[in-house]
Structure 1
Amino acid sequence: MQTFKESGLPEEVLKAIGELGYETPTPIQSKTIPEILNYGNDLIALAQTGTGKTGAFGLPVIPQVVTEEKRVQALILCPTRELCLQITKDLNNYAKYYKDLFITPVYGGTEIRTQIRALKKGSHIVVGTPGRMNDLINRKAIELGDVRWLILDEADEMLNMGFKDDLESIMAQTPEWRQTLLFSATMPPDIARMSKKYMQEPVEISVGTKNSGSSNVEHHYYMVHASDRYKALKRIVDVTPDVYGIVFCRTRQETKDIADSLMADGYNADAIHGDLSQAQRDLVMHRFRKKHLQLLVATDVAARGIDVNDLTHVINYNLPDDIEVYIHRSGRTGRAGKKGVSVAIIHAREMHRIKAIEKIAKKTFERKWVPKSEEICEKQLFHFLERVGNTELEEDSPVKTLMPAVYEKLATMEREQLITQFVAAEFNRFMEYYKDAPDLNVYKEAKSRRNSNVAFSRLFVNLGKTDKITSGDIIGLINSKIKGTTVKVGKIELLRNFSFIEVDKEYEQEVIKKLSSAKVKGKKVSLEVATPKPSKRRNKRR
């Protein structure tokens, strides 16, 4: 299928998408539209975000809905309110010339009675989040016995968010003869298990390679000391004046701290996290979509369902534990045929994680150097001059009426002096900030314990895999509690209910004292010196 006209879609749909400027289907649309138009087998479609998945299921389903029958014929489940509204908006655009077709979004965080009234009027297609959909089922406000199409959009995200039980409960309310369409960016084991349990001989369609990133995204990494992450973040942003992106953090508290620090330092940034009300979240997202914000700081959970097509950057302030999460993060940029950059700020002991992502995602990371003051100031200056050159003045601009007085005020200055003063007035604060700024780059990967002259002490920690703790969490805890000193860390052994960590023997007691007053994920940390791990020796044969 080279164009939509060859797809078999009816004239009403072709006219609507033609007005939207769509002529050529994306790869995922080319493969799925014929399958769904023919009401064929169940379908598993694997594709990254931003590849046109809503059109892939929406365009073929809309013309098959029987509008004369006021019942729910298509149910679309998605992870978040934002994605629910985006899907509904897209479907309404596709169905522009189907006046009697009704599409209803249902989601949490808003008055449920309003949604119940909308459903009672008669809906053909319902788009909903799993939690709210289950609530409506329990209230007997929706009937799913006639659903022909059950569509799970971003299925991997819904499972990651803990909606497995909700999804199974909802699917049990739909008829066995339905066509189930499962769309996902990745194929984790839970998705495979769900497909075996609830789908009948599904056809699998994959665009690109499983668990691989978008080809439009460049992958960069910067290596710094863990304590210099925030300074590095600011420099990366400063050297990219037109940056428009999401900064991903590990925890809700870190998200708040980084966003507050960026705003205090004069950056055009804000955060979304679980402590915001829905109204506050909507306001932040409205400002971000309108590009009134350049940077949105978020955790993976808070960012779910954010659908913005023209992000220039995704910045991993911390790498995620799951490689598939990194792939999903990076897929938020480089969309709709545009180029994007995924940045990772790592410390010296995280290089193995970059190599693991390269292996699984089949992408190559490029080592970048944290820019120095001269490079940043030069880039900012020329960006400012470009903005000045591109500034348009209206004929009746009040600036023009002030120009005679301006000329008179500056008449005593020579051209070179005027330009120099002009630049200095704009950039003095900026240049002063970066004056004598240190080099943040770490030029060598951390040496292994065997190649180090550091004497290590082995500590017992009362946290393990059951506490959902990671090596990065432990290193981050040390860096956050011991300021002004980089404590060398050796091998970390994560066991089921506890762990062992090697730290520089010189700081043994300080680490025990400072970390023993901390809490991680609600659990008080306890450390003590452990028995040194015995070295392994081969038994000599006699």
Structure 2
Amino acid sequence: MEELGFETPSEIQQKAIPELLEKDTDFIGLAQTGTGKTAAFGLPLLEKIDPADNHTQALILAPTRELGKQIAEQLEIFSKYQDKVNVLAVYGGAAIVNQIKALKKTQHIIIATPGRLIDLIKRKAVNLNRLDYLVLDEADEMLNMGFKDELNEILSYTPADKLTWLFSATMPNEIKKIINKYMDDPIEVRIDVKNVVNKDIQHQFTLVKVADKTDVLTRFLDADQDMRGIVFCRTRRDTQHLAEELQKVNYRADALHGDLSQAQRDRVMKRFKSYSLQVLIATDVAARGIDVNDLTHVFHYSMPDDPLYYTHRAGRTGRAGKKGISLVFVNGREHGKLNRFQQELGINFEKVLIPNTENIIYSRLEKWCNTILNKKTDENSNPELMEKIIEFFGDVSKEELLEKFAAIELEKLNLDKGGDLNKGAERDDRGRRDKGRGGRDRGRGGRGGRDSRGGRGRDSRGGGRDRRKSSASAGDDRRGPSDRRKKKTSRKTNRSSETVADMPKMRSRGGSDSKSGSTRKRKSR
């Protein structure tokens, strides 16, 4: 553990490991992604495996191949100083012939996705008759992905006296049915989501017009070249489209989604882990099992509907004691969802501005200057070559030379002239809110008794649309010129008094640009 850098166990590890080591009992562990669940069940499991017993002793079911591969890799590391424990991950998208060949050798622990495991069982490549331990990891996600029937089928192939360890982020009714049917008086350990979600993560949001989302993302990427992160989209199509748009303008980005073959996914992850990619564009399902500890950012390009999905996403950063930022792109319709997330998760979202071109230029030039100043010169450089360079630039002043170098560096950025994207987002947001308020005012204005609203027959509803239009016009006419001026002044005052936190890792504040336009093209990065 010291070799791996483990110093203090996480809460789920502190509570689960002693129970699983000391007691032979069924177990339920409720904790979020990124809390160290793999070690919580993996370490006790390895202690209980007998390498001399030549049969499959443990089965770990995972919802995705990425998570399955991650579990297998970690178990291999955990068992480095133990007698040889054979561990094999089997999953779809890889050649089943190779997996069948590997299964002819005794595998003490099998990690599998449900669909591939059933295929292997039916081909008689896997025998679970003497199984001692069954681990269901991310059980709620397996059900969300539609594996209910597959789980029941797999469990039917296992002996009744096995021990079942179930780990999940939530406890939906379907999970309770599995517990009641297949588990016997299990011990339950529950880690409160509010104690986990915001420990090392700074939660932020920025107002964004839907049409500006890609430009907004590139602004944040440009403002901090050292960031590494995951950008979450709702669908596979959105994920692929965004990745291609970023690649066209030379951003180091690629997509990870369910339409990729296993070989393609492996190539993408290899590039990401080797720092060849700055950002990974992913769907929620595809991101399960991504194990990268030094991510600085998670971008919610599309806001999730479920707060628990938010915690799964945000948990990709702020790992291993490091700090991280989870940034949500919010349009005018999503304020209610953001407030609900705050209440249910016990977190506060800090509002940040979209970086403008001034911020980005300042940040990039500062880093460029520091890079030059910190560059060590080569003592063995060619004197004749240096003389030639000095001869070339002999008539150029220091100031002029620096201007030329700076111009070359800024040409690499070739920033868009989109101006201050915050203004467009604020206008869009105000427009939606004003429209909502107008609708509520009209509703209140029409209230009287039951009879004053008109009858409920078909005739009374006819022409309702025309009445709503005339009512709205009347409402506008009733508001005199002075009232409208007061309302406009009030809005300006409210906007000017709003406080917005400085952008993290940036020294200058977000502000207005004097430029206009919308298209962003970059020559290189």
Give me the TM-score of the superposition, normalised by structure 1: 0.76
Which AA in structure 2 matches 1:451? R
Match of 1:218 in 2: 202
1:179-218 to 2 correspondence within 5 Å?
A: 179-209=163-193, 213-218=197-202
SS of the equivalent of 2:246 reads helix
Match of 1:451 among 437, 447, 453: 437
Matched, 1:419 2:414: no
Please point out which of 102, 105, 111 is paired with 1:121. 105
Aligned residue among 7, 10, 13 for 1:29 = 13
| 1:263-342 correspondence runs (5 A) | 263-342=247-326
Match for residue 42 of structure 2? 58
Aligned to 1:4: none
Aligned to 2:65: 81
* Helix, strand or coil at the partner of 1:183: strand
In structure 2, the residue matched to 1:406 is 389
Deviation at 1:51, TM superposition (A): 2.2
Q: Contact conserved, 2:140 with 2:175, CA < 8 A, in 1?
A: yes
The CA distance in 2 between the partners of 1:412 and 1:267, in whole Å, is: 38
Q: Deviations over 1:66-93 (max 9, x none)?
A: 2221011111111222222221111111
**2:204 and 2:326 in contact (8 A); partners too:** yes
**What percent identity do the matched residue pairs reach?**
44
Q: Secondary structure at the match of 1:18?
A: coil
Q: Which has the higher helix share?
A: 2
1:255 maps to which of 230, 239, 245: 239
Measure how far apart 1:240 and its partner are. Answer: 2.1
SS at match of 1:315: strand
Q: Residue 391 and residue 156 in structure 1: after superposition, are their counterparts in 2 closer, same or farther (change >3 A)?
A: farther
Q: SS where residue 190 of structure 1 aligns?
A: helix
Matches within 5 A, 1:338-487: 338-391=322-375, 402-428=385-411, 430=413, 433-434=416-417, 436=419, 439-442=423-426, 444-445=429-430, 446-447=432-433, 449=435, 451-452=437-438
2: distance between equivalents of 1:95 and 1:185? 26
CA offsets per residue over residues 344-364 of structure 1, 9 Å max, x none? 111112111100111111111
Which string of whole-angstrom CA distances, capped at 9 and with x for unpartnered residues, describes residues 343-398 of structure 1?
Answer: 111111211110011111111111111122211211122122333344456666x7
Cα distance in 2 between the residues matched to 1:410 and 1:220: 48
| Equivalent residue, structure 1, for 2:509 | none
Contact 1:39 1:179 in 2 (8 A): no
Contact 1:211 1:324 in 2 (8 A): no
SS in 1 for 2:328: strand
Question: Against the structure 1 CA distance between its residues 395 and 119, is the aligned structure 2 distance closer, same or farther, given a 3 Å change threshold?
Answer: farther
How many Å apart are 1:533 and its aligned residue?
12
**What is the number of equivalent residue pairs in this alignment?**
446
Shift of 1:334: 0.8
Higher strand residue share: 1
- 1:174 CA drift (Å): 1.6
Tell me the alpha carbon deviations over residues 111-150 of structure 1, each in whole angstroms, 9 at most, x when there is no partner. 2222222222111111111111111111121111222211
Displacement of 1:450 after TM fit? 5.3
Structure 1 residue 39: Cα displacement:
3.1
CA contact (8 A) 1:212 1:360 kept: no
Contiguous gaps of at least 5 residues in structure 1: 1-16, 457-528, 536-542
Which AA in structure 2 matches 1:72?
T
Task: Specify every segment of 5 or more residues in structure 2 that has no aligned partner in the other structure, as ranges.
Answer: 443-461, 469-525
Distance 1:434 1:64, change over 3 A: same
Query: Do 1:36 and 1:57's aligned partners in 2 also have CA atoms closer than 8 Å?
Result: yes
The structure having more radius of gyration, on CA atoms, is 2
Within 1, Cα distance between the matches of 2:341 and 2:196? 9
The answer for the alignment partner of 1:482 in structure 2 is none
Residues 489-510 of structure 1, C-alpha deviation per residue, up to 9 Å, x if partnerless? Answer: xxxxxxxxxxxxxxxxxxxxxx
Q: How many angstroms apart in 2 are the aligned matches of 1:93 and 1:399? A: 48
Are residues 337 and 211 of structure 1, via their aligned partners in 2, closer, same or farther at CA, if it must alter by over 3 Å? closer
C-alpha contact 1:186 1:211 (8 A) present in aligned 2: no
* Root mean square deviation of aligned Cα: 2.8
- Once residues 180 and 244 of structure 2 are traced to their aligned partners in structure 1, the CA distance between those partners, rounded to angstroms, is 46
Distance (Å, rounded) in 2 between the aligned partners of 1:301 and 1:432: 33
Which structure would you say has the larger RCO, counting Cα contacts within 8 Å and 6 or more residues apart? 2
**CA–CA distance in structure 2, aligned partners of residues 153 and 106 of structure 1:** 15
Whole-angstrom CA distance in 2 between matches of 1:152 and 1:20: 25
* Partner of residue 519, structure 1: none
Residue 229 (structure 1) aligned with residue 238 (structure 2): no
Instruction: Report the Cα distance in structure 2 between the residues aligned to 1:53 and 1:384, rounded to whole angstroms.
Output: 42
Deviation at 1:288, TM superposition (A): 0.8
Cα gap change, 1:149/1:382 in structure 2, threshold over 3 Å: closer, same or farther?
A: same
- Tell me if structure 2 keeps the 8 A contact 1:74–1:148: yes
| SS of equivalent residue, structure 2 residue 193 | coil
Letter in 2 for 1:447: R
CA contact (8 A) 1:50 1:336 kept: no
User: Cα gap change, 1:136/1:455 in structure 2, threshold over 3 Å: closer, same or farther?
Assistant: same
Shift in alpha-carbon separation, 1:441–1:176, aligned structure 2, 3 A: same
Q: 1:433 aligns to what SS in structure 2?
A: coil
- SS of equivalent to 1:118: helix
Corresponding residue SS for 1:349: helix
Cα pair 1:212 1:361 within 8 Å, conserved: no
